[in-house]
Structures are given as C-alpha cells and as structure tokens.
Amino acid sequence: NAGVTQTPKFRVLKTGQSMTLLCAQDMNHEYMYWYRQDPGMGLRLIHYSVGEGTTAKGEVPDGYNVSRLKKQNFLLGLESAAPSQTSVYFCASSSVAVAKNIQYFGAGTRLSVL
C-alpha cells in the first residue's frame, strides 16, 4: 500500500533557485494538503486543494505556488527559494466520504536552502 508518496525525499537548493515537490496519493482522496514543519513547531498549512483544478491558501502561503491538475497529484512549487524556506515539507490527503478531518501523510521532503 503506497498511500501518500512524496518526491524527492531530500533536496538542497541555493537561494534563488526554483523547484517542485511532488505528492501522489493512490487512495482516491478528494482533499490534499501541503504543510511545513520547522524545529519545535507544529505543522503549518501552506496550501490545500478540495478537488482537481482547485487550490486555496493556508496559513503560510507566501513564496509557494501549487497545482492540482490530476486528482491523485498535488505539486508544491518554490519559484525563488529563500533560506527561510528551509524546512520539512509534508503532503497529506483525506477523503470526504470517510472522514475529511482524518489526514494521511507522506514521509516528508527535507529541503535546505543555502
């Protein structure tokens, strides 16, 4: 059971570089989320999507963009990376039919911006 898969697992960027983090889920979930976790902090919501073709801002959206072209994929983009975006990024998904509040998480992407 793959569940929620995030790629890549690790990445080092230089300030100003761009990159895209990919999240894929095979559970046919409608909702998908991107969070970041910083040391000593809880997870904070960056962006989320309630369905294919729709996205919305979360608590900390600045500096990030997202796209949900297919139901199973949710992409997080950093157009011009900054050291403040060094963090661990988690993707999650949930089902409206079962319990939309219960989110299932990927293993995370550790990003360092130098």
Partner 1 sequence: DQQVKQNSPSLSVQEGRISILNCDYTNSMFDYFLWYKKYPAEGPTFLISISSIKDKNEDGRFTVFLNKSAKHLSLHIVPSQPGDSAVYFCAASGWGSQGNLIFGKGTKLSVKP
Q: Return residues touching partner 1 (CB under 8 A).
A: 4, 31, 33, 35, 40-45, 48, 50, 56, 58, 90, 92, 94, 96, 99-108
Q: Which is nearer to partner 1, 16 or 51 (CB)?
A: 51
* Between 57 and 70, CB nearer to partner 1: 57
Return the number of the residue (17 or 110) whose C-beta is nearest partner 1: 110
Tell me if 9 sits within 8 A of 107, measured CB to CB.
yes
Q: Which is nearer to partner 1, 48 or 64 (CB)?
A: 48
In the complex, minimum distance from the CB of residue 66 to partner 1, in angstroms, rounded to a whole number: 14
- The CB-of-37 to partner 1 minimum distance in angstroms stands at 9
Q: How far is the CB of 90 from partner 1 (least distance, A)?
A: 6
As measured in angstroms, the least distance from the Cβ of 24 to partner 1 is: 14
Structure tokens at 83: 């050291």
DSSP for the chain, please give it.
Answer: ---EEEE-SEEEE-TT--EEEEEEESS--SEEEEEEE-TT--EEEEEEEEETTEEEE-SS-TT-EEE-SSTTEEEEEESS--GGG-EEEEEEEE-TTT-TT--EE---EEEEE-
